[in-house]
């Protein structure tokens, strides 16, 4: 008998992806709502912020973005570049404190051709990785198993980030 994996939060992503409708710029919209827990915003800096990816590759997948809508890295000023990099470093420290990963993938997709889902707003992905985290589910079934809900991850990372502040 086949096992059933339950990931109800993925349906929103699937429906948005298949509709072809653009979600807009979440990196402008969500911080403006000032509902950080609902929008998974973990930390607000002066020019940039850290939030959880609502459609993560692994538990603890974070995004770091400037408040200002900028598409390319050369459009960022020195203050933004400094704070963005500081927030990437803090994010790594927080994730080490929460999950103890064996490594990280950290990157930026510049432009739709490079895989950017929101090409009009540059953002960094911080993805914690563990030895052996790519198993048969990912390799054969193209399925990811998320052992912790987004809300549980948010609370855990938020607690570590607040202690680190």
Counting runs of H as helices and runs of E as strands, what totals does the chain give? 6, 5
Catalytic residue status for 123: yes
| Per-residue pLDDT, 88 | 98
Tell me, what's the pLDDT at 135? 47
- Residue 3 CA to residue 155 CA, distance in Å, equals 29
In the chain, where the domains are located? 23-160
**Tens digits of pLDDT across the chain (165 residues):** 445 445 555 555 445 544 444 568 999 999 999 999 999 999 999 999 999 999 888 889 999 999 999 999 999 999 999 999 999 999 999 999 999 999 999 999 998 888 888 999 999 999 999 987 764 444 344 455 566 788 888 998 999 999 987
pLDDT tens digits for range 23-57: 689 999 999 999 999 999 999 999 999 999 998 88
Residue 94's pLDDT is what? 97
Cα 41 vs. chain centroid, distance in angstroms?
10
CB-based contact 78:46 (threshold 8 Å): no
Give 108's strand partners. Answer: 124
Give pLDDT tens digits for 2-14: 454 455 555 554 4
- Note the pLDDT of residue 24: 86
pLDDT of residue 137: 42
Top CATH class, 23-160? alpha beta
Give the pLDDT of residue 7: 57
DSSP, collapsed to helix, strand or coil, labels residue 47 as: coil
Catalytic residue among 61, 121, 123, 125: 123
**Burial call 27-36: b when 16+ CB within 10 Å, e when fewer:** bbebbeeeeb
């Amino acid at each position: 008998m086949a096992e059933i994996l339950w990931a109800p939060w993925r349906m929103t992503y699937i429906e948005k992806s298949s509709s072809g409708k653009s979600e807009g710029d979440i990196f402008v919209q969500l911080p403006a709502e000032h509902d950080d827990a609902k929008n998974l915003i973990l930390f607000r800096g002066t020019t940039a912020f850290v939030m959880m990816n609502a459609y993560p590759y692994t538990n603890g997948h974070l995004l770091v973005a400037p408040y200002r809508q900028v598409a390319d890295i050369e459009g960022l000023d020195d203050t933004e570049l400094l704070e963005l990099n500081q927030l990437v470093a803090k994010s790594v420290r927080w994730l080490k404190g929460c999950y103890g990963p064996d490594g990280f993938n950290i990157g930026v997709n510049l432009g739709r051709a490079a895989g950017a889902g929101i090409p009009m707003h540059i953002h960094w992905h911080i993805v914690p990785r563990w030895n052996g985290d790519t198993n048969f589910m990912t390799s054969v079934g193209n399925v990811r198993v998320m052992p912790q809900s987004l809300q549980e991850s948010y609370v855990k990372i938020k607690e570590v980030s607040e202690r680190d502040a």
